[in-house]
Amino acid sequence: MNLIYAVILGAVQGVAEFLPISSSGHLVIAGELLTSLSGRGLPEWLQGMTMNVALHFGTLLSIATIYFRDLLGLLKQVRLLLLIVLSSVPAGFVGLLFKDQLEALFQNALAAGICLLGTAAILMTARRMRGVGRGLSELSPAAALTIGLFQAVAILPGISRAGSTVGAGLMCGLRPEDAARYSFFLAVPAIGGASLLELLKLLRQGDSTAPEFLPMLVGMVVSYVVGVFSLRSLIRLLAADRLHWFAWYCSTVGVLTIAWQLWAV
Q: How far apart are CA 77 and CA 73, in angstroms?
A: 7
Output the pLDDT for position 143: 96
pLDDT for residue 31 is more than 90: no
Task: Give 96 or 26, the one with higher predicted confidence.
Answer: 26
Residue 150 pLDDT class (50, 70, 90 cuts): very high
Q: Is the dihedral of CA 192, 198, 199, 200 positive or negative?
A: positive
> 196 with 47: CB under 8 angstroms?
no
Output the pLDDT for position 211: 46
For 140, phi then psi, to 5°, come to -90, 160
pLDDT in tens, 190-199: 888 877 777 7
Helices (H), the chain: 2-18, 23-38, 50-66, 68-73, 78-97, 99-105, 109-128, 141-153, 161-171, 176-205, 213-239, 245-264
pLDDT over 70, % of the chain: 91
pLDDT for residue 209 is more than 50: no
Task: Give 28 or 40, the one with higher predicted confidence.
Answer: 28
DSSP state of 134: B
pLDDT in tens, 219-238: 899 999 999 999 999 888 88
Q: Which residues pair with 174 in a beta bridge?
A: 134
Q: How far apart are CA 177 and CA 232, in angstroms?
A: 12
Task: Give 174 or 99, the one with higher predicted confidence.
Answer: 174
Query: What is the average pLDDT score of the chain?
Result: 86
Sketch the domain layout of the chain as residue ranges.
2-264
The amino acid occupying position 182 is Y
pLDDT in tens, 81-116: 999 999 999 998 888 888 777 777 777 899 999 999
Output the pLDDT for position 53: 78
Q: How far apart are CA 228 and CA 231, in angstroms?
A: 5
Inter-CA distances, 145 with 83, 123, 152, 162, 187, Å: 8, 19, 10, 16, 15
Most confident of 44-48, 137-141, 235-239: 137-141
Q: How far apart are CA 10 and CA 8, in angstroms?
A: 5
User: CA Rg, the chain, in Å?
Assistant: 18
Chain centroid to CA 86: how far?
19
Instruction: Please name which of 171, 161, 172, 173 lies closest in space to residue 234, comparing C-alpha atoms.
Output: 161
The amino acid occupying position 216 is M
The structure's pTM equals 0.84
Name which of 131-140, 146-155, 255-264 the model is least confident about. 131-140
The residues, ordered by sequence, that sit 6+ positions from 56 with a Cβ below 8 Å of its Cβ are: 13, 17, 23, 191, 194, 195, 223
